[in-house]
Structure 1
Amino acid sequence: MPVYNKLVRDNIPQVIEAAGKTCTMRTLGDEEYRQELRKKAFEELEEYMDAKDDATAVEELADLLEIIHALAECHGATIEQVEAIRASKAEKRGGFKEKIFLIEVHDE
């Protein structure tokens, strides 16, 4: 019997039952939920980093985006608010499209 002890997507218990299995689960409180979302973000980022092809990488990015949506809600924000902040930062400081790699800054 595998033990997972991790946050899973909402429909996973139904997927397990549809496969003819049973599972044990519980609903997390707000603070524990936030902590588990943070852990899940690292897990999904690691899976993205391990991706061997573009299709897998994009799938893992979608998982990360789902976590970002949930974290935004945990912090009392909408994904639209997060996007507005992202766009504002991009306007002021730029994005990452130019592929600039800063080596050092000289004080003169």
Structure 2
Amino acid sequence: MPTVYDKLVRDRIPALIEATDEQPVTHTADSVEYADRLAAKLREEATEFDDDRTLEELADVLEVIDAILAHRDSSRAELERIQQEKRAEKGGFEDRIVLERVDEQ
């Protein structure tokens, strides 16, 4: 019985599967599907990082972010510029502030 994945995978995964004498069934996503699959992959990798918290899992998150940037014809530099603007406006997370609630006045 086949194992169904129905998810975006890294480029070399089909060849790695073939090397185990199994037959991957794949298709190439169009632009819209690719954007949707990248968003799903980002959620998947973020969940895996939440479960494992290793640098290897965090590297997977970054790999998906790089793919999203490339698909959007953007760059890490552009993303970092936006990150810096948001940090200047709202701050970062260095102070470890946890907002518990906002009480009415």
Q: TM-score range by the shorter chain?
A: 0.7 to 0.9
Secondary structure at the counterpart of residue 43 of structure 1 = helix
Shift of the 2–104 alpha-carbon distance from structure 1 to 2, 3 Å rule, reads closer
Q: Which amino acid aligns with 1:67?
A: V
Displacement of 1:79 in angstroms is: 1.5
CA-atom RMSD in angstroms: 1.8
The number of equivalent residue pairs is: 104
Residue number in structure 1 paired with 2:37: 36
Once the two structures are TM-superposed, the CA of residue 85 in structure 1 deviates from its matched residue by 0.9
SS of equivalent to 1:50: helix
* Equivalent residue letter for 2:15: Q
What corresponds to 1:86 in structure 2?
Answer: 83
Secondary structure of the residue aligned to 1:62 is helix
The answer as to 2:28 corresponding to 1:10 is no
Cα deviations across residues 53-101 of structure 1 (Å, max 9, x unaligned)? Answer: x5xx322111111111111222231121111111222233221011012
Q: 1:63 aligns with which of 60, 64, 76?
A: 60
Runs of 4+ in structure 1 over 4 Å off: 104-108
Deviations 1:15-73 (A, max 9, x none): 1122232211111100000001111111111111212xx5xx32211111111111122
Q: 1:85 aligns to what SS in structure 2?
A: helix
Give the percent of matched residue pairs that are identical in Structure 1 and Structure 2: 38
User: Taking structure 1 as the reference length, what is the TM-score of the superposition?
Assistant: 0.83
Matched residue of 2:84: which SS? helix
Counterpart position of 1:98: 95
Alignment-derived partner of residue 45 in structure 1 = 46
